[in-house]
Amino acid sequence: MTLRVVVSFSGGKDSAYATWITMHQGWDVSLVTVKPRAYDSLMFHHPNVEWTHLQAQSMGLSHEVVEMTR
């Protein structure tokens, strides 16, 4: 049985590396990106979240963008 995991994916080097590690463990990986409503959010790093779907597509992974409402 293959382990299914979700990686919190911002598109930066740290989340890309976390994704690489989980993929090379042989796990079934999906990505989720949190997109804050406000550009000046202190909670989430998001300068390039608009590009994360292309990164996921290039890796052949499913990807979901969740927009924060507050």
For residue 46, what pLDDT is reported? 58
Residue ranges per structural domain of the chain: 4-67
pLDDT tens, position by position, 32-67: 998 877 666 666 555 678 899 999 999 999 999 998
Residue 70 DSSP SS3:
coil
For residue 47, what pLDDT is reported? 64
Fold of the domain spanning 4-67: Rossmann fold (3.40.50)
The pTM of this model reads 0.82
Place 5 in a pLDDT band, splitting at 50, 70 and 90.
very high
pLDDT tens, position by position, 11-35: 989 999 999 999 999 999 999 998 8
> Quick one: which of 54, 40, 43 has its CA closest to 31?
54
